[in-house]
Amino acid sequence: MKEQLYPYHINFLVSIFNLFDVDPYIPTRNQDTTMWSQQFSGTLSERDCQQHIPHQFDVPAGLTALIIDYEYSPAEIDGFKNLCTLSVYAPDGCRGAAHRDPKKQHIVISSGDSTPGFTSGAITAGRWQIDIDSHMVLPGEPLRYTLTISGSSDPQSAAPTWTSSITAPRGAGWYRGNLHSHTFHSDASMSATDLVRWARSENFDFVALTDHNTISGLAQMDSLGADDLLVMGGIELTTFYGHALVMGVRDWIDWRVRADRNMLDIQREAEARGATFIIAHPFTPGGKYCTGCHWEYSEMMPGTARLLEIWNWTWDGDSNNQDAVELWYTWLNQGYRIFATAGNDIHDVPTEPLRLGFNVVYAQELSEREILAAIRKGHNYLSSAPKLNFEGRTLDGQTILLGEQLPAGTLNLDWANCGDSDLGKLIVNGQQAAVFAAKSAGSLHWTPQPDWKWAVVEIRDDQGNLKAITNPIFIG
């Protein structure tokens, strides 16, 4: 959830809607026949912050749509936002989430078209539940809410149907793209079409959609790829105490941490489904600044996590990326084989040039399976522009890729597309072992010393801002 930190993510249109306290994400049709309705209201204080507050109700048979109207106030206190979002659970599973902050929301879940964030399908009779997920209830004036649920039996227009696209494999090679993106299915202003158009303008080979706590945008996203662009899917588990990307799945992942279910359990559940788990932006400020954005799970520091997003949004933005790099180096020195990723965390198409970090991945082919397999092995580097080829060469001439072990031999670096004032650094065991003028391009070779355990290469500008960084080669 980044709009609290990055107001430029919210475009002019969404700002106009918010001025009038209206949720812009509404299907364009009316529900004329109300068969059933129920209303809840309540008051929350700061003691109710970071809770899943359930509201259960019984839905009768024969409905074709549920209409949910939700309102709370105050929206802000002293310039900071309250954030109490909705998650909806049918008897047969989750139907989606409205992870966004307009204080008035009108949501339709139907057998036809549904509000973004929610999946279409039959309205099952039985016990339903709506959770108010109180990500932030600020101290001061109590938060008062009303939640009205009604049912319609009107005929519904057909839900959109999407045919999954196919991207022709290109074989083994380097592929560049983004693993972390959002649309208006959660808290962004752009559509999946906008996201894919932007990815093509950046000449990406792949781009992933990872909306907050919902998978409702993935079917359309999967339809938008072609031979020039691989589209990938996942979900950003947006919990009260940290965010994580779960990549390569199309099923909803339960993000709720409870007394009997911690983040380690959630990681295991996701990976049992074949997902790739990445700790996201661990040092983004949390609390009232960006609710839940700071990683606070002590059991996952690092626990069994083996992927860490160290470059979120722009390098010098509010995500404190340098702290993430230093944490990563600490974990490597502790003996953990943990690999780094970048995530643009894009919420809107940038209106000006930004130095974002991208993943450059050596994969066996351009497919979601192989891109994620390569990232789990550390076969990638992160870059805003520089091109790096950092590899090991064994004494008998074998090539050792990023993320692999060099028993003995040399470390070899070729680079290009750097600025004239850029500096390169060889980092060994978390310490600077060599510095070189990167200029535009060049090559260097190093022979590891007996105490070298791992090495990465950084490229930084003359202000110390990171422009590229490799995953480690382990030594010995």
Structural contact between residues 277 and 271, judged by C-beta atoms closer than 8 angstroms: yes
Which helix or strand (DSSP H or E) is residue 455 part of? strand 454-460
First vs last C-alpha separation in the chain: 42
Domain at 385-476: CATH architecture: Sandwich (2.60)
Report the pLDDT value the prediction gives residue 23, as an integer from 0 to 100.
46
pLDDT bucket at 135, cuts 50 / 70 / 90: very high
Instruction: Give strand ranges (E) for 269-400.
Output: 276-279, 307-312, 339-343, 358-363, 380-383, 387-394, 399-400
Q: Cα 433 from chain centroid?
A: 33
Check pLDDT > 70 for residue 10: no
pLDDT bracket for residue 6 (50, 70, 90): very low
Is the model's pLDDT at 458 over the cut of 80? Answer: yes
Residue 34 main-chain phi, psi, to 5 deg: -95, 120
This model's pTM is above 0.85: yes
Residue 362's pLDDT is what? 98
pLDDT of residue 34: 65
Is residue 27 predicted with pLDDT exceeding 80? Answer: no
Tell me the CA distances in angstroms from 382 to 179, 351, 437, 438, one per residue in order: 12, 23, 19, 16
| pLDDT at 22 > cutoff 90 | no
Residue 18 has pLDDT above 80, yes or no: no
| Rounded Cα–Cα distance for residues 203 and 222 (Å) | 18
Mean pLDDT of 178-207: 98
**For residue 16, is pLDDT > 50?**
no
Average pLDDT of span 402-406:
98
Query: Any idea which of 34-43, 373-382, 414-423 has the lowest mean pLDDT?
Result: 34-43
- Domain-by-domain residue ranges, the chain? 7-152, 162-381, 385-476
| pLDDT exceeds 50 at position 304 | yes
Q: At residue 132, does pLDDT exceed 80? A: yes
Predicted local distance difference test score (pLDDT) of residue 5 = 35
Q: What is the pLDDT of residue 14?
A: 40
Average model confidence (pLDDT) for the chain?
93
Section 129-133 average pLDDT: 98
Q: How many CA atoms, within 13 angstroms, populate the side-chain half-sphere of residue 359?
A: 31
- Locus of tokens 């309705």: 37
Is 2.60.120.380 the CATH classification of the domain at 7-152? yes
CATH 3.40.50.12280 fits 162-381, yes or no: no
Position 4 pLDDT exceeds 80:
no
pLDDT for 35 equals: 76
For residue 21, pLDDT beyond 80: no
